[in-house]
């Protein structure tokens, strides 16, 4: 049995900023890494810095450029298979939704597509965003709900994980960002996240690859705090990644330090 991890993300660059550490870590161990990207990222920044809904911002050209960035980042991370669902980027909640926005796709229909991919690749582990975090980007929340439904529908994978940003992560990010002149406040509701975290993966050995993959998405770095951090500061913040084990058939005890704990696959 091939050890396989399948990650479901909303936009090109999310794979690097959110789970780049575990993707590179498990790829380095010989794991097959499958990335499902739900949208084309049309409402990101253009390569020349043009913002969405400005005269020089061409969504189709942005999507094409971001696909190239995604492919470059995946080569750095060691992603073996990329699956593009092709939905339209929904943008942030303050913007009017475009026609065909991902968030308007019924969960059942999108989950059926992802379930077919799970059945095809047969991953033991599926990773996505936190389906209980309603404060995140609406495409991220929708992707999490779709991935969760697909996991349940397929019945193939053994473990489903949600990426978690708890208090320790935010305190590291805010302290380190402040040291380079970037200031943010600590979000609320972190105690709810902290008590749900089950799994922490040490990715310090590959954190340079996570940063390199993030920088492949050069068109999006202007709005990225992580993209502005020098290597040492980046490593301090992003050297570990935390997860909530949302579904499990193994009975492996928690807390755990391996997404494949209890599976017996190499």
Q: What's 247-263 look like in SS3?
A: EECCCCCCCECCCCCCC
Number of Cβ within a 10 Å radius of residue 238: 23
Structure tokens at 240: 């570990």
The DSSP annotation for 151-162 comes to HHHH---SEEEE
237 in helix, strand or coil?
Answer: helix
pLDDT of residue 149: 98
Structure tokens at 83: 């699956």
199 in helix, strand or coil?
Answer: strand
Helix axes 59-77, 20-28, angle to 10 degrees: 40
Q: How far apart are CA 86 and CA 94, in angstroms?
A: 22
Structure tokens at 95: 């913007």
Structure tokens at 241: 């990644």
* Mean pLDDT within 200-223: 97
β-bridge pairing 199-202 and 240-248 = antiparallel
Structure tokens at 60: 């189709």
**pLDDT mean across residues, the chain:** 96
Confidence band, pLDDT 50/70/90 cuts, at residue 186: confident
81 in helix, strand or coil?
Answer: strand
| 155-172 per-position pLDDT tens digit | 999 999 999 999 999 999
The domain over range 4-165+197-227+240-248 is classified in CATH as 3.40.50.10320: yes
Confidence band, pLDDT 50/70/90 cuts, at residue 258: very high
Domain segments of the chain as ranges: 4-165+197-227+240-248
Q: Give the C-alpha distances (Å, rounded to integers) separating 239 from 91, 181, 216, 259.
A: 29, 21, 19, 16
Structure tokens at 247: 């579904």
DSSP 104: G
| 120-162 per-position pLDDT tens digit | 999 999 999 999 999 999 999 999 999 999 999 999 999 999 9
């Amino acid at each position: 049995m091939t050890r396989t991890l399948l990650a479901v993300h909303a936009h090109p660059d999310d794979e690097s900023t959110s789970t780049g550490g575990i993707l590179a870590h498990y790829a380095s161990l010989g794991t097959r890494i499958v990335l499902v990207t739900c949208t084309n990222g049309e409402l990101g920044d253009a390569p020349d810095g043009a913002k969405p809904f400005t005269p020089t911002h061409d969504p189709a050209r942005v999507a094409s450029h971001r696909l190239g960035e995604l492919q470059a980042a995946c080569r750095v991370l060691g992603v073996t298979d990329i699956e593009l669902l092709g939905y339209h980027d929904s943008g942030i909640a303050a913007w009017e939704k475009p026609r065909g926005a991902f968030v308007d796709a019924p969960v059942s229909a999108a989950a059926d597509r992802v379930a077919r991919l799970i059945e095809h690749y047969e991953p033991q582990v599926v990773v996505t965003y936190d389906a209980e975090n309603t404060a995140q980007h609406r495409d991220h929340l929708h992707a999490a709900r779709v991935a969760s439904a697909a996991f349940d529908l397929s019945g193939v994978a053994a473990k489903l994980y949600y990426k978690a940003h708890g208090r320790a992560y935010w305190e590291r990010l805010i302290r380190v960002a402040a040291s380079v002149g970037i200031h943010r406040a600590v979000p609320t509701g972190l105690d709810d996240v902290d008590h749900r975290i089950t799994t922490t993966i040490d990715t310090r050995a590959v954190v340079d690859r996570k940063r390199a993959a993030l920088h492949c998405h050069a068109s999006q770095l202007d709005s990225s705090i992580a993209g502005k951090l020098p290597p040492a500061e980046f490593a301090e913040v992003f050297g570990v990644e935390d997860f909530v084990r949302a579904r499990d058939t193994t009975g492996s005890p928690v807390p755990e330090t391996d997404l494949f704990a209890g599976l017996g696959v190499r």
